[in-house]
Amino acid sequence: MSRTAIPAPRRPRLLQALFNLRREEIVPVLIAALFFFCVLTALMLLRPARDALGMERGIESIRWLFIGTAVVTLAVNPLFGWLVSRLRRLQFIGATYGFFVLSLVGFWALLMFAPDAVGQRSGQVFFVWFSVFNLFVTMVFWALLADRFTSDQGKRFFALISVGGTLGAIFGPWLTSQLAQPLGTPSLLLVAGGFLLLALAMAWLLVHVAPDRVGTGAPAATTATAGFASEAERIGGSAWAGLRAVFRSRYLTGIAGYILLMTVVATLVYFTRLQMVAAVADDTDARAAIFGNIDMWTQVAVLVLQLTLTGKIIKRFGLGVALAILPVATALGFIGLAVYGSFVVLILLEAVNRAVQRGITRPAREALFTVVSREEKYKAKAFVDTFMYRTGDVIGAQTEGALGRLGLAMGGLVSMVVPLALVWAALGIWLGRAQARRVVLPPAPTIATPEISDGAHDSPGPSAASVAAFPARPTRPGPPELQK
């Protein structure tokens, strides 16, 4: 009696070849990309108002607004840590996004019913509020992704998910141009709030689709039960646990240092652009058109990198090389700016810096958090992605101002940026290797209480939180950094 061969399940070859994406991962990835699209659309709807209000009192006022933003960010971190400790995951995500939606409604009411009360002071308050809001909504998004996807998945398709954010960054300004006249500027705040509510709905879908069971080989019922059980648990711990974790773990301290160096250099680029624009202030409309074209082509470059090169660079060379590309490109750009000193070179420097940062560095940087405990994903990541980020802004802004006052503007910048870039690149390579050492399989399906890493060394063992969140997976052959 002959047996009928059972055909092997077919895998979508196009998706596998282009994006290294498996069939069962398509739905979670699409939901995550739509989530990021909603977040970035909301941010880009509000950014023009933030920049216009911040510039009302000149460039020097922005330096002080950066300091105010860093102080407020530090004050908000323990409050966010308290929410993470007391509430379940979807509850504290909903509380965070809900607070910002209510804030937008409050600003809308102020603009509509008390326009005379809107002045320079309220504009500065909006600048600081938006700068804090900008970091927290994106941090929560990436923390949830690091929590729901494995290290291998993060390396393969975080860049693809980032395409959703890039499309949102393009769609947001276009929507502003279409709605500003018929609805009025205050109503744009409500539109942004609507997109945040859509983002919250996508977060709910992402959690309940349970992407952590993708490709595990475990029985569906068992994995699904484990996924929803973990969602019902509270993370617990102290409101200040994130800050302590960063300084107790060399790995988290390295991530914090990488972000600090990145933002210092990015802020130097930002203020260099402001200074050069101020020097050619005779034709505002022409400058606006130039920068509009820069933004458009930068987004196009980001899309190309995200769709073609990022995943392949990470897969072929690892996270370390992907993290080192931005500092090397930035150092070369500043050297070119010092040699030629033209506005065109500055435009190229900023466009390349932003394209590489968003297209390559950001997906690679977020993959670093896939191998830490759940408590560290939300609490330590909040401190690193918000306060350390804004601290870099302050250092960069004050350094650029001090060099300008000493008459060492461009030469001083180059002599400082190049050594920083070398340290920055070396740190990126070290982080990539440290992340690979942490990627191991849980030994057995067990439930444990999440703990903060003691950070004494980069332990190759799994954290308790990762064991609780992801049941044991069958070992698959391949390099250690691809086993998860």
Which are the contacts of 288, defined by CB distance < 8 A and separation ≥ 6? none
Instruction: For residues 32 and 199, give the distance between their C-alpha atoms in angstroms, rounded to a whole number.
Output: 9
Which are the contacts of 6, defined by CB distance < 8 A and separation ≥ 6? none
What size, in residues, is the chain?
484
Name the pTM for this structure. Answer: 0.73
Instruction: For residues 55 and 37, give the distance between their C-alpha atoms in angstroms, rounded to a whole number.
Output: 28
Which domains, and CATH codes, for the chain? 19-208+229-482 (1.20.1250.20)
Per-residue burial over 340-368, b = 16 or more CB atoms within 10 Å of its CB, e = otherwise: eeebebbbebbbbbbbbbbbbbbbbbbbb
56-110 tens-digit pLDDT? 555 666 777 788 888 888 888 888 888 888 888 888 899 999 999 999 998 888 8
pLDDT of 18: 59
pLDDT of 482: 33
Instruction: For residues 137 and 422, give the distance between their C-alpha atoms in angstroms, rounded to a whole number.
Output: 31
Which are the contacts of 54, defined by CB distance < 8 A and separation ≥ 6? 61, 62, 65, 123, 124, 127
Please check whether residue 158 is in contact with residue 152, taking contact to mean a CB–CB distance below 8 angstroms.
Answer: no
Which one-letter DSSP state was computed for residue 462?
P
35, 161, 272 from 54: Cα distances, Å: 28, 31, 17
Instruction: For residues 344 and 361, give the distance between their C-alpha atoms in angstroms, rounded to a whole number.
Output: 24
111-163 tens-digit pLDDT? 788 766 666 666 678 888 888 888 899 999 999 998 888 888 888 888 889 88
Instruction: For residues 244 and 225, give the distance between their C-alpha atoms in angstroms, rounded to a whole number.
Output: 32
pLDDT of 60: 65
Q: Which amino acid is it at 93? A: I
Q: How many CA atoms lie within 13 A of 301 on its CB side?
A: 17
Angle between helix 26-54 and 120-148 (nearest 10): 160
pLDDT of 253: 94
Q: Which helix (H) or strand (E) holds 375?
A: helix 374-375
Q: How many CA atoms lie within 13 A of 56 on its CB side?
A: 17
pLDDT of 470: 37
% helix, strand, coil for the chain, step of 5 = 80, 0, 20
C-alpha torsion sign, points 84, 85, 87, 88? positive
Which one-letter DSSP state was computed for residue 234?
-
Please check whether residue 132 is in contact with residue 73, taking contact to mean a CB–CB distance below 8 angstroms.
Answer: yes
Q: Which residue has the tokens 């001083």?
A: 412
pLDDT of 444: 38
Which two tokens mark 212?
A: 């952590």
Which two tokens mark 294?
A: 């820069």
Please check whether residue 200 is in contact with residue 97, taking contact to mean a CB–CB distance below 8 angstroms.
Answer: yes
17, 156, 438 from 14: Cα distances, Å: 5, 15, 31
pLDDT of 197: 95
For the chain, which ranges sit under pLDDT 70? 1-20, 48-61, 115-123, 210-234, 236-239, 274-296, 341, 404-412, 440-484
Instruction: For residues 301 and 89, give the distance between their C-alpha atoms in angstroms, rounded to a whole number.
Output: 35
Instruction: For residues 300 and 430, give the distance between their C-alpha atoms in angstroms, rounded to a whole number.
Output: 30
